[in-house]
Every structure is written in structure tokens, then in C-alpha cells.
Structure 1
């Protein structure tokens, strides 16, 4: 059984993989049938490609979880995004993600973003 603390640690490990650019290690945190609703893809290979695209555009980008709420097999995560230039006085961009966990790994993900400069949101960068 995966505990709430296990899920919180899983989210933090994933973000550390992103922040340290260890994308291949993050693949082990996802089930083989992982489905990304924002990307519309199965498996984590496209997720790694998306991460590479974001880092290519924003080399200093970092994601830091502010809230991780766990309920049964779901985790809701609110994260700040650093390393993307924003105007003085503007809030840091945010990511909002919901994950379904299966046997201690990410099985499914939904996501949205807010506060990114025009044409700099993950959705814009990846299209």
C-alpha cells in the first residue's frame, strides 16, 4: 500500500529529477502505461521530450511543490515555477497538477498552469 508520505516523496523525487535534469531517472517513477492528459500520450517518453523543450527554452527553470494534497490514489500538487523571467511585482508562474498513483508510481496526470508570460506557458512551449 502506498501511503500519503510515499506519494509526497514520489512528487518530490519527480521534481528533483526535473530540477537536476535527470529525465531518464524520472521515467522509473511512472508506470509503463502512464497517460498524460495534457500531452495526450501514453508512456513517459513524450514527457521527457516536453521537459527537454522547457529546459531548452528556459535553462534556469525549476519547479517547487508548495502544496501536495493526497486523497486515496490521487495527489493534487500546486507548484511555483522559478527561472522564467516575469515583470517586477508579478507573481511567479504556477503549475497545478493532479496525479493518479498506481503501486507507488505515477499512472495518470492532468495539469494546468497560471501566471506564465505570454507564449511561455508549458502548453505554448510544447505546441
Structure 2
């Protein structure tokens, strides 16, 4: 793991945070292996690096002000663990839900494995989709 690898990943996140989809997609091509494995429960019509691009197209279309704040980043050998807080305003269709204008905040944790060339070979993600759904009004709030 080099500071160059971390810097490249930070540039992708900065492009996403600035709503620069075209730049984010270009950077994804640079930092991800073409045959990367996106290990999440998402059902996508594509695989490899194209799947990663679809995820960000969906998110930035639904939440144009999407912001990913990394609260923790741990590096161990060829793996990086990110703990993020994600915010955004629901301005586009998301998971079949028409725009609500609601602001959402949710947590996610990702493990990223780099290949020998320093590109992303695989990701494992846990995203608090229940928080997303509650905040969009699709499931009831949990009462204590």
C-alpha cells in the first residue's frame, strides 16, 4: 500500500462529493481493475468496474449532493477498511422511489482489496439500507 493508492482513492471520493460524475467515472477506471469484484447484495446488470460505475451513477442521480465522509480508514497490507457517513438529498428516483426531497444520513463500512498493481480488485460493503428506507418513509421509524 502506498500513499499514491490512498491518494487515488481519495480523488474518487472528492469527485463524488463534488458531484463530478464524469470525473469520478474516469478515476474509477484508473483505480479499479477492469475485472474487480463488487461483493455486495446489489443486483446489477453488469459486473467488474462497470458495476462500480453503475453504483455511483445511481447514487449521484438520486442524491446529487451526495457526500461521503470517511470517519475511519484502516490500512493493513493490501486491504483498506473505510467507515463512512453518507448524506444526501433525495432529488432523483432511487430504488423505485420517486424524489421526496428528504435529506438522509446513513452509515457504511467497506473493505477494499488491492491487487499487485495497486488497483481495487475487490470490495465488500455493508450499507445501512434500513436507515435509508426509514428516512425516505418506506419503512416505519423504530420506536424505543
User: What band does the TM-score fall into relative to the shorter chain?
Assistant: 0.7 to 0.9
Pair 1:50 & 2:64 matched:
no
Any unmatched runs of 5+ in structure 1? 87-91, 122-127
Larger radius of gyration: 2
User: After alignment, is 35-44 or 48-57 more displaced?
Assistant: 35-44
User: SS of the counterpart of 1:83?
Assistant: strand
Q: In the alignment, which residue of structure 2 is the partner of 1:117?
A: 132
Alignment root-mean-square deviation, CA? 2.3
User: TM-score, normalising length from structure 2?
Assistant: 0.68
Structure with larger RCO (C-alpha < 8 A, sep 6+): 1
Residues 7, 75 of structure 1: 8 Å contact kept: no
Report how far residue 118 of structure 1 moved.
Answer: 1.1
Q: In the alignment, which residue of structure 2 is the partner of 1:98?
A: 111
User: TM-score, normalising length from structure 1?
Assistant: 0.76
Distance 1:9 1:120, change over 3 A: farther
Residues 16, 66 of structure 2: 8 Å contact kept: no
Question: For this pair of structures, how many residues does the alignment match?
Answer: 114
Q: Output aligned runs, 1:1-127, within 5 Å.
A: 2-3=1-2, 5-19=3-17, 20-21=20-21, 22=23, 23-38=25-40, 39=42, 42-84=47-89, 85-86=103-104, 92-102=105-115, 103-114=117-128, 116-118=131-133
